Amino acid sequence: MKYSEAVNQAIQDALKGKDVVCYGQNMNAGSCISGLCKDIPGANTQNSENTLVGVGFGMMLAGQDSIYFMKQLDFLLLAVDHLVNTWNVLRTMDLSSSFTIVAVMADTRKDGPQSSFVRFQQLLNVADIDGYIINGVNDLKTLSEELVKPGFRVICVRQSRWHEEL
């Protein structure tokens, strides 16, 4: 099994029996974000990252668990306002639902100038956000435990390992 397939399977397993709204660009179209979202029910969206992060926070506030699948970590920079201001308000509330952003870290640095942002920890430090990098099979348990847990987090999947056999 390839790394990307193992991550996809871990996501599917974590979602079984749960009422979670999944959405993102090309989530269930084309390559399904290079196979990351294959067979995961969800809605395809347009590229409007700031709005999509705001929608996720809104669903969390309304009690609906949600996951926003993002094609590249770079695009999360377009939502820094929500990461700082909206999250800093919501973090003070007693939240029972979850909002997770699952982003691909384009760490091969071969996908053009807009796909070279790999400073994940610095991004999390902007507003003391919980975050996890899925780097191999040992991290799949963390993915399963954190994917739909009350609160907000960002989970990155490293693209450079995408086609490795496990």
User: Six-digit token pair at 77?
Assistant: 């920079």
Whether the CB-CB separation of 49 and 103 falls below 8 Å is answered with no
User: Six-digit token pair at 28?
Assistant: 């269930």
Tell me how far apart the alpha carbons of residues 34 and 90 are, in angstroms, rounded to a whole number.
32
pTM of the model: 0.94
Neighbours of 18 (CB within 10 A): 10
Question: What pLDDT does residue 136 have?
Answer: 83
Which fold does the domain 3-161 belong to in CATH?
A: Rossmann fold (3.40.50)
Backbone angles phi, psi at 128, to 5 degrees: 50, 55
Q: Which regions in the chain score pLDDT beneath 50?
A: none
User: Six-digit token pair at 99?
Assistant: 């909002």
User: Six-digit token pair at 44?
Assistant: 């395809």
